[in-house]
Chain A
Amino acid sequence: DDGLKKALTGAELVVIPAGVPRKPGMTRDDLFNTNAGIVRDLAKACAETCPEAKLLIISNPVNSTVPIATEVFKKANVYDAKRIFGVTSLDLVRASRFVGEKTGSVGEVPVVGGHAGVTIIPLFSQVPDLQLSDAERDALTHRVQFGGDEVVKAKDGAGSATLSMAYAGARFADSLLRAAAGEDVLEWAFVRTDLFKKEGLEFFSTYVKLDKNGVKEVLPLPSNISAYEQELVQKAIPELKKSEAKGVSFVAGN
């Protein structure tokens, strides 16, 4: 019934949660084979029908599906790096929540890197007045990195995070809508950036200023992140490269 084309006609924002969820024991990468094709096909339709829309990709593994959507848009000659986002907001929400449970407040905790396991890098150093012992920092970092697994396990086969992810996706979409309406918005999202070009990386989740065109400016990581956090970044890079390459070659070969 041409439903996809009709749905995309005139769209300014396209949010993509489509795909299968994890079962206990699975990593986000285990979803690749199914979800890569889904995202590729949806991205193709967007490239054809609404090439100027902003894409908000939730489908996992985000570290690969964002490169997939990018390659599709490049092939169709409609790529603009300002308009494709991997949604990492749930990691931000979790980090704030887990710190809040410890300290009683729910301030914002920046989270950078990527959206899977050790590529998720919460920057507790950036939260004013937050004192954590090394053990607390390690435990909190691990909990944020594997927050998704916590829910997959609790759902015991019934799926992965849906409600908190919906909230996070809506929150990010809201940021883009407010930016489109003229507000100055600072967010965090998985985007195309040259920040780690010399390490061979094309995508990284970092501080992003938004405007009506999408990405207004990609900001580097704060210069005062801790040594621990610097190490997390270093550990994340090879994982991110692998996922990126997997996504890129999927499109090249399919």
Chain B
Amino acid sequence: MVAVAVLGAAGGIGQPLSLLLKLNANVTKLHLYDIVNVPGVGADISHIATNAEVKSFLGAGQLAQAVSGIDLAIIPAGVPRKPGMTRDDLFKINAGIVKTLVEAIADNSPRAFIAVISNPVNSTVPIAAEVLKAKGVFDPQRLFGVTTLDVVRASRFVRDLRPSADAAALRVPVIGGHSGNTIVPLLSLASTPVDLSAEETKELTHRIQFGGDEVVKAKDGAGSATLSMAYAGARFADSLMRAIKGETVVEPAFISLAADTEGAQEIRQLGAGDLEFFAVPVELGPTGVKRIAPLGGEPSEFERAAIGVAVGALATNIATGVNFVQNA
């Protein structure tokens, strides 16, 4: 079935993510890679009685092996935010990490699906794309920035406001990017209609956009979201694995719009313009992005304005990522 590599497996996100993947019956091989502590994490997880075979790979010297023979690489590697830091502050460190990891994937498993969690996603996904392009193996249908947590938070925060809503069943499309005001929740297009006042819409939107900060602040120096991010990453991986097996699954993701130029028209007309990357609802299939799923309606005026703001910031973030690789 599916061989998965977790790059950054010993970190705050990597550990619970690896645990959840070990519990996923679709995973046959689980490669855990990190630069410290991964043998212990691997030994721990390997004791769980599910079929996935766990192998640990420690240090740069073992990276090539870690990403050989894999179908899916998930990348949570990198440093977390501390209070006061924005995702862009992490940039210099995490940009280098992602570049190195994606180079190895390109060299050893060029057809692998790549799911990037490392922040700032708005820049690290373009970095990944540039690396893959330089190596001549870029397939826009196989590269994803994981934005699932924003969608998960949207469902949860709606439920916080409306306790009768079913948090697990409610789906709110979230488009744009994966930081602050580049996150655009389309509450008006939720899977089950949610009646919100203008004030509530504004507050909810803000809460979803800055949900990450909420956790960074609460952790008070001890890091950023790890457990909810692990859940979101595992959920995205599961969706991708089910899609690889032939199921049609819709998940949000930050992708290159070249993955579905026709389907991208709707989002381009709504404000994405000629941005190369954008977070959209994606219909997944055996080749990755099958198509960009239609939004299912017209965003509200408030949401269109939010898209406008997001696009400006996103253009900068994407350029930062692209330039990082091109100037390296």
Contacts and interface: CB of A to CB of B under 8 A. Distances in A.
Contacts of A151: 40, 43-44, 47
Contacts of A9: none
A154 B47 CA distance: 12
Contact of A162 (B22, B23, B44, B46): B44
Contacts, number: 62
A93 B49 contact: yes
Contact of B49 (A97, A150, A162): A97
A164 interface: yes
A155 B47 contact: no
Interface of A: 90, 93-94, 96-97, 100, 106, 147, 150-151, 153-156, 158-159, 161-164, 166-167
A141 B42 CA distance: 21
A163 B50 contact: no
B15 interface: yes
Contact of A154 (B19, B44, B49): B44
Contacts of B46: 97
Interface of B: 15-16, 18-19, 22-23, 37, 39-51
Chain B contact residues, majority secondary structure: helix
A2 B16 CA distance: 29
Contact of B43 (A93, A96, A106, A155): A155
B40 A163 contact: no
Nearest to B43: A154
A8 to B, nearest CB: 21
B49 A161 contact: no
Contact of B19 (A90, A150, A167): A167
B41 A163 contact: yes
A100 B51 CA distance: 8
A192 to B, nearest CB: 28
B39 A93 contact: no
A94 B47 contact: yes
Contact of B37 (A94, A97, A100, A155): A155
Contact of A166 (B19, B37, B42): B19
B49 A90 contact: no
B126 to A, nearest CB: 33
Given A155-B37, A156-B40, A161 B50 contact: no
30 contacts: A90-B47, A93-B48, A93-B49, A94-B47, A96-B49, A97-B48, A106-B51, A147-B47, A150-B47, A151-B40, A154-B39, A154-B44, A155-B39, A155-B41, A155-B44, A156-B40, A158-B37, A159-B40, A161-B47, A162-B44, A163-B16, A163-B18, A163-B22, A163-B41, A163-B44, A164-B19, A164-B47, A166-B19, A167-B19, A167-B23
